[in-house]
Amino acid sequence: MNTLYHARGFWNGLLRKPAWHLREYLRNTDYRALHRFAFQLRKSAHGASARVNHAGRPIELCDAASFLSAWDEIFVNRIYQIPRPAGRVPTLVDAGANIGLAAFFWKITYGEFEYIGFEPDPLVAACCRRNLVAWQVKGILHELALSDADGERLFLADGADGGRLLDGGGAGLSVKTGRLSSMLPEVVDLLKLDVEGAEAVVLRDIAPCLPRVQNLFVEWHHRVGEAGLGAAIVLLEDAGFDCYVHVACGQSQPFMGIRPAGEFSQNLNIYAVRP
């Protein structure tokens, strides 16, 4: 994964890593699109809706900063790309769909595929549905927060990509919760799990179903002092996966003190791959 994020801008990128930046800018249409979007959206306020276009398709978005960050990961770094399965249409299970960019990437990369998405934030889910229709993605989007029980919970929506279930009281929306284990298809080519702190609960729930999953991506959200990462790795290895961990956002010198930027002290990308 490259370390040249969209927030640094075109000229900063040229100064900091000129050879890499120029090579990517000249050969990578998605990297050029990232800078085009950053320029288009430079005056967009947090939580403001907007619209851009790519590959002849419209993209509706709810928040500029989260869109640019997601584009950097999904299209420039291609974190959801897998080998194309032979002889069948691949299936993407998108837990934490947001506005649907993972589905858009798969549509461009693989053409036809089966899609099952989950997004609990009602405003973001509505945006995602409109995008899926515009991109002609075949599948279904569930307006549902994944957990280990069917029911209702309070959800803290942020209108971007950081909405999460609340553990205690507080102001929030009442959203439906459900178990992913009851909705997984028989074969899953990629399960993307980005559920803002609920990943440990969801992983335990789907543990018996993991033999159906060929590739699994987990964005692990860590809170200071909270255990669970080691158990998650063991669970995945026991299911036959090799695990590769990349730091998406975290502390550069944790021995010198932890300074969480928000609810979480670090985000890790876990790639679980069948050897």
Architecture of the structural domain at 82-273: 3-Layer(aba) Sandwich (3.40)
CA-to-CA distance for 155 and 166, rounded, in angstroms? 6
Q: Is residue 198's pLDDT more than 60? A: yes
From-to residues of CATH 3.40.50.150 in the chain: 82-273
Torsion angle defined by CA atoms of residues 83, 85, 89 and 94, in that order, rounded to the nearest 10 degrees: -50
Average pLDDT of the segment spanning 80-106: 96
Whole-number percent of the chain with pLDDT over 70: 93
Q: What is the pLDDT of residue 200?
A: 93
End-to-end, the C-alpha distance of the chain in Å comes to 21
CA-to-CA distance for 103 and 11, rounded, in angstroms? 31
Query: Residue 144: how many CB atoms within 10 A of its CB?
Result: 20
Instruction: Give the closest residue to 141 by CA, choosing from 124, 127, 157, 125.
Output: 125
Instruction: State the pTM of this model.
Output: 0.90
Taking only the tens place, the pLDDT of each residue in 56-78 is: 999 999 999 899 989 999 999 99
Q: Is residue 16's pLDDT more than 60? A: yes
Work out the burial of residue 210: count CB atoms within 10 Å of its CB; fewer than 13 is exposed, 13-18 middle, 19 or more buried.
Answer: buried
The three-class DSSP label of residue 68 is: helix
